[in-house]
Amino acid sequence: MKPVVISGTGLFTPPHSISNDELVAAFNAYVELHNQEHAAQIAAGEVTALEPSSSAFIEKASGIKSRYVMEKSGILDPSHMTARIPERADDEISVQAEMCVAAAREALTRAGKQPQDIDMVLVACSNMQRAYPAMAVEVQEALGIDGFGFDMNVACSSATFGIATAVDAVRNGRARAVLVLNPEITSGHLNFRDRDSHFIFGDACTALVIEAAETASGAHQWEILDSRLKTSFSNNIRNNFGFMNRFDEAGIGQPDKLFRQQGRKVFKEVCPMAAATIADTLAAAGLETKDVARYWLHQANLNMNLLIVRTLLGRDATADEAPVILDSYANTSSAGSIIAFHKYQDDLPAGANGVICSFGAGYSIGCVVVRKK
């Protein structure tokens, strides 16, 4: 088969960061206001009092210390608890497209490519800010790409599924080069009033240029040796927001229209699935775990990543073997593994093997095995 490479990566990091202490202070102020407002019902046993959070609890549960967001003041307002991002006019570039363009420009520069070298734009992420026109087509227009684009959603595995889709497009001649973009405004689907999840997510956008090896000229090229995609239906991670919500007014604004999960079940079920998928993909590529220099795993929960790599290696991974960006970026859904890949790839020598793996709602798991050229 025609060799295909990742020839460039890019990252857009939002301008605002929220520490655990800041987030906890806002959440606990909300809890105090809520409990005061419902004091009578709480005393009567009609309403359950909310419990405060703590930075120590957050870091122990997730490994997260801070997160980047597109807007900060609204999230930290105990009376609001949602980002304040004004709507833009139809003739202005949308927020997600703007994030994509910034990440794309870095990826194109690293790949040594111009927009006219790209034939296909794929925007793959957990949440699109609108139904249509496709975000990918807007990005295509903003960058001046003459080709086609479309959106896809496989939740946290969107980036790895996007890589596999791009590889197929290059190999079958549909596109000379593909721009895969992952604009995650995960603060939009996060319930900042929920103690169990208010700390999980952050915003970011990643970009990848994928092309035939014969046309690649970037300084850091990674040949895609093999990939495996797997889905298995589960309600343990779910968000019911959608265009049909207005059909039943009773559901408007309910908690199930935001992110929710059964964390313990997710941990128990997804970790072995992810480890098995990585092992299967390595075997298909003719490799063993001892041949892998680095694992760029989905950055959802530090304990999950530690367990997955421990299952594969039979020991704890070093920080060099499985780099972590979760502490400062939090869970950025599909962008997480690509942020890790973007930040921790240049130091590896030619011939080094690596694994990009993401996992999340669906369940969905995507694994890509790469080798530096």
pLDDT tens-digit readout, 301-322: 999 999 999 999 999 999 999 9
Percent of the chain at pLDDT > 90 equals 100
Max CA-CA distance within the chain? 72
Q: Are 24 and 244 in contact (CB under 8 A)?
A: no
Structure tokens that stand for 228 in this block: 């495996």
Contact 170, 117 (CB under 8 A): no
**Upstream peptide bond of 68 is cis (omega within 30 degrees of 0):** no
Do the Cβ atoms of 280 and 228 come closer than 8 Å? Answer: yes
Residue in 337, 56, 50 with CA at minimum distance from that of residue 199: 56
Contact residues for 149 (Cβ-Cβ < 8 A; gap 6+): 120, 121, 122, 123, 134, 136, 137, 139, 140
Residue 235 included in any domain: yes
Whether the Cβ atoms of residue 272 and residue 309 lie closer than 8 Å to each other: no
* Domain annotation covers residue 315: yes
Beta pairing, strands 148-152 & 120-124: parallel
Catalytic one among 156, 205, 357, 367?
Answer: 156
Neighbouring CB atoms inside 10 A of 53's CB total 23
Residue 190, pLDDT > 90, answer yes
Task: Calculate Rg over the CA atoms of the chain.
Answer: 21
Task: Judge whether 349 lies within some domain.
Answer: yes
* Cβ–Cβ < 8 Å for 330, 201: yes
Q: Does residue 196 lie within any of the structural domains?
A: no
| Residue 277 host element (H or E) | helix 263-284
Average pLDDT over residues 177-189: 97
Using CA atoms, how far apart are residues 111 and 216, in angstroms rounded to an integer? 7
Distance CA 360, CA 270 (A): 8
Q: What angle do CA 168, 343, 335 make, to 5 degrees?
A: 50
> Which burial class, exposed, middle or buried, applies to 243 when counting CB atoms under 10 A from its CB (0-12, 13-18, 19+)?
exposed
- What is the rounded distance in angstroms from the CA atom of residue 336 to the CA atom of residue 333? 6
Q: In this structure, what DSSP letter does residue 30 have?
A: H
| Band (1; pLDDT cuts 50, 70, 90) | confident
Strands (E), 127-251: 148-152, 177-185, 203-212, 222-231, 237-238
Strand partners, 182: 206
Q: Is residue 250 part of a domain?
A: yes
Assigned token pair, 350: 């030619």
Q: Sign of dihedral through CA atoms 260, 203, 71, 65?
A: positive
Q: Which residue has the tokens 């970026």?
A: 329
Residue 266 lies in a domain: yes
Domain that residue 226 falls in: 222-372
Backbone angles phi, psi at 134, to 5 degrees: -55, 140
For 216-232, the pLDDT digits (tens) are 999 999 999 999 999 99
**∠ at Cα 159 (238, 114), nearest 5°?**
145
Active site residue 205: no
The rounded distance, in Å, linking the Cα atoms of 25 and 68 is 17
Residue 160's identity, in one-letter code, is T
Q: What gap in Å lies between CA 55 and CA 12, rounded to an integer?
A: 26
Question: In which band, very low, low, confident or very high, does the pLDDT at 60 lie, cut at 50, 70 and 90?
Answer: very high
In this prediction the pTM is: 0.96
Element housing 69 (H / E): strand 66-69
Please indicate, yes or no, if residue 361 is contained in any of the structural domains.
yes
Position 179 scores a pLDDT of: 98
Looking at the domain assignment, is residue 63 inside a domain?
no
24-47: average pLDDT = 97
User: Taking Cα atoms as reference points, which of 138, 127, 211, 139 lies closest to residue 175?
Assistant: 211
Q: Copy the structure tokens of residue 83.
A: 């980002």
* Percent of the chain with pLDDT strictly greater than 70: 100
Segment 108-119, tens digit of pLDDT: 999 999 999 999
Cα–Cα dist 7/113, whole Å: 9
Residue that the structure tokens 């794929």 belong to? 122
Quick one: pLDDT band at residue 80, thresholds 50, 70, 90? very high
CATH number for position 265: 3.40.47.10
Number of domains observed in the structure of the chain? 1
Average pLDDT, the chain: 97
